[in-house]
Amino acid sequence: MTTTIGIWSVLAILVALTDGQIISSTSTTESQTETETTEYGPISMVVDQLAGMSVDFSDQSSAQLQANIDRALVALTGNIEAMSISAMHQMDQTIDQTSQFLMDHVDCNPAWNLQKFTSNVTRQLSDCSLNMGRLAESLRVDGQQVMADVQSFIQQMSQLPLMCSQQQQSASLAVGPFSVGFDNSNNCFMDGITSINQGLAKAMHNASLFLVHTRRLSQEQTAQSQQCSDAVVAQTLEYLNALRANCS
């Protein structure tokens, strides 16, 4: 929303300049070209400045979007790590005590192997967070595509003044996926940046929906993984206690 308001403010400035503040027009016979100026300088220079302002507005929103995606990814991967650490912490003491007990009573369970047992428990905990890991990878890949979509419109925006200048005498201008009709470079810029801004607004909206959907899935997967992890801890502790009880 901030990006859209900012760019429309830029367009309002351009309309004021082109409609009410053109103060001179000079013709060059040799090149048969016309240069319009305002009290702020040539129209082309003003357009460049306004395009730069639009890009700045969009870059700020793009940076915020990237930060939100990064935070979501860090939070998700952090939950995976924290869940595993917490589960092992709950079992460490009992595992160590049981292992020492069985080493002191070898006849009770000659096949006991601490390394294999710990590896098996770790694998079970990893399986619990498997879907969270897949979601994290999806967030990373899809997040890159979301950012690429947004950046493509910002790039079009930055290139618009040059494209309008090159196509000033043409009947139409192709701006990325848009086809914009114009009478001169000023109308070209206003029409072009309006179309680009519409595409950018849609891309930002899709990015927002993507983040909301990802957060919801993250909460669901975290809850399911926590239940699985809690079950592994409970079953492991019960098994270890049974080993010691049967050996007494």
Asked, for residue 30, whether it belongs to a domain, the answer is: no
* Dihedral (CA of 99, 104, 109, 112) sign: positive
Asked, for residue 103, whether it belongs to a domain, the answer is: yes
Say whether 197 sits in a helix, a strand or coil: helix
- CA torsion 212-218-220-226 (nearest 10°) is -160
Per-state percent for the chain, helix, strand, coil, to nearest 5: 80, 10, 10
Asked, for residue 18, whether it belongs to a domain, the answer is: no
Asked, for residue 36, whether it belongs to a domain, the answer is: no
* Dihedral (CA of 79, 142, 52, 4) sign: negative
The region, left, alpha or beta by phi > 0 then psi within -120 to 50, assigned to residue 32 is left
pLDDT per residue rounded down to tens, the chain (248 residues): 454 545 555 555 454 444 444 333 444 333 334 444 444 444 556 666 666 776 777 888 889 999 999 999 999 999 999 999 999 999 999 999 999 999 998 888 888 999 999 999 999 999 999 999 999 999 999 999 999 999 999 898 888 888 887 776 554 444 454 444 444 556 788 888 889 989 999 999 999 999 999 999 999 999 999 999 999 999 999 999 999 998 86
Asked, for residue 10, whether it belongs to a domain, the answer is: no
Amino acid 2: pLDDT? 53
The whole-angstrom separation of Cα 16 and Cα 96 is 78
Determine the structural domain holding residue 148 and report its residue range. 43-247
Amino acid 93: pLDDT? 95
The whole-angstrom separation of Cα 179 and Cα 173 is 6
The whole-angstrom separation of Cα 142 and Cα 139 is 5
Residue 169 tokens read as 């005498």
Q: How many CB atoms lie within 10 A of CB 103?
A: 12
First-to-final CA distance of the chain? 70
Write down the residue that tokens 């595409």 correspond to. 199
The domain tally of the chain equals 1
Amino acid 109: pLDDT? 85
The model's pTM is 0.72
Amino acid 46: pLDDT? 60
167-199: per-residue pLDDT in tens? 765 544 444 544 444 445 567 888 888 899 899
Amino acid 188: pLDDT? 80
Amino acid 166: pLDDT? 77
- CA torsion 190-148-205-54 (nearest 10°) is -30
Asked, for residue 242, whether it belongs to a domain, the answer is: yes
57 burial level (CB within 10 Å; 0-12, 13-18, 19+)? buried
Strands (E), the chain: 22-28, 33-38, 41-42, 172-175, 178-181
Asked, for residue 186, whether it belongs to a domain, the answer is: yes
Residue 181 tokens read as 């009709």
Amino acid 149: pLDDT? 94
Asked, for residue 35, whether it belongs to a domain, the answer is: no
